[in-house]
Amino acid sequence: MIIYPAIDIRGGRAVRLVEGDFSRETQFDADPVDAARRWQDAGAAWIHIVDLDGARDGTGANRDAIARIRQAVSVDVRIEVGGGIRSDTDLEALSAIGVDRFILGSIAITDPAFTERAIATYGDAIAVGLDARDGKVATQGWLEQTDADAIEVARRYAEAGLKHVIFTDIQRDGTLQGPNLDALRALIAAVPIDVIASGGVGSLADVEAIASTGAGGVIIGSALYHGRIALTDALAVGAAANALPTSAGEAR
């Protein structure tokens, strides 16, 4: 199981939001490069980056900060980026920076044709981010609620060749109150692809619980910034997860 330490960028700074609420923001690093270097030094193989301004406004407002992160960390540390990716131009610009994986969020709901074309073009480098309240996907930086069912969206794109889906329970995100394991298990059972969990992780026990579901990865944000989890400990859980049984009782 891959551990993805998170860097959420707003106005060029590394911040965390509670339940995606832009009015409930805490700044942790004035320069997100500092966070990226910290996660690299702790042993992270991947870093998860969200352009919060891009997610809300559909612009690449923090692309310079993302480029600086890419330049600051080793090429062995891979980065995935979401927030505001709405066009081929956005994908090309992030690819030129050296981003390893692109997370399609709102566009996966509003423009399935573009999303399927991106999957066909970029293959394993595309992930679809499903940010849900009560199983229904929200878009535009979580400000717009849709009636799209997260599992049905995941099934559609899995059939189109998608390899990775990131599932966030919005009502748990940033709360440190534990992940929505039932919703996570339901999604994992529904699609034969890599499911990355996000939202609510507040302790190492939460990371272990996610590992037991057979998730391919977990994104950890607030718990790292608040010192509730040491990244080295989470990475150890992730490294051991391959030996754990999945929900189907098979070795991962």
For the domain 2-242, what is the CATH code?
Answer: 3.20.20.70
Confidence of residue 232 (pLDDT cuts 50, 70, 90): very high
In the chain, % helix, strand, coil (3-state, to 5) comes to 40, 30, 30
Catalytic residue among 51, 53, 90, 131: 131
Residue 51 appears among annotated catalytic residues: no
pLDDT at 125: 98
pLDDT at 241: 86
Residue 131 appears among annotated catalytic residues: yes
Extract the runs of DSSP E, i.e. beta strands, from the chain. Answer: 2-10, 13-18, 21-29, 46-51, 78-82, 101-104, 126-133, 136-139, 144-149, 164-169, 194-198, 217-220
Evaluate whether 9 touches 15 at the Cβ level (below 8 Å). yes
Confidence of residue 147 (pLDDT cuts 50, 70, 90): confident
Six-digit token pair at 96? 């030129």
The DSSP result for 91-141, as a single string, is HHHHHHHT-SEEEE-HHHHH-HHHHHHHHHHHGGGEEEEEEEETTEEEETT
Position 132 pLDDT exceeds 80? yes
pLDDT at 249: 35
Evaluate whether 188 touches 218 at the Cβ level (below 8 Å). no
pTM of the model as a whole: 0.89
Evaluate whether 22 touches 14 at the Cβ level (below 8 Å). no
pLDDT digits (tens, 9 = 90+) for 194-221: 999 998 999 999 999 999 999 999 999 9
pLDDT at 247: 43
pLDDT digits (tens, 9 = 90+) for 10-44: 888 877 665 555 555 566 777 999 999 999 999 99
pLDDT at 244: 55
Secondary structure class of 190 (helix, strand, coil)? helix
Position 139 pLDDT exceeds 60? yes
Q: Which amino acid is at 237?
A: V
Can you give the residue ranges of every domain in the chain? 2-242
pLDDT digits (tens, 9 = 90+) for 70-106: 999 999 999 999 998 999 999 999 999 999 999 999 8
Tell which residue, 85, 80, 79, 81, has the closest CA to residue 59. Answer: 85
CA distances from 120 to 104, 123, 154 (A): 14, 6, 16
Confidence of residue 250 (pLDDT cuts 50, 70, 90): very low
What percentage of the chain reaches a pLDDT higher than 70? 88
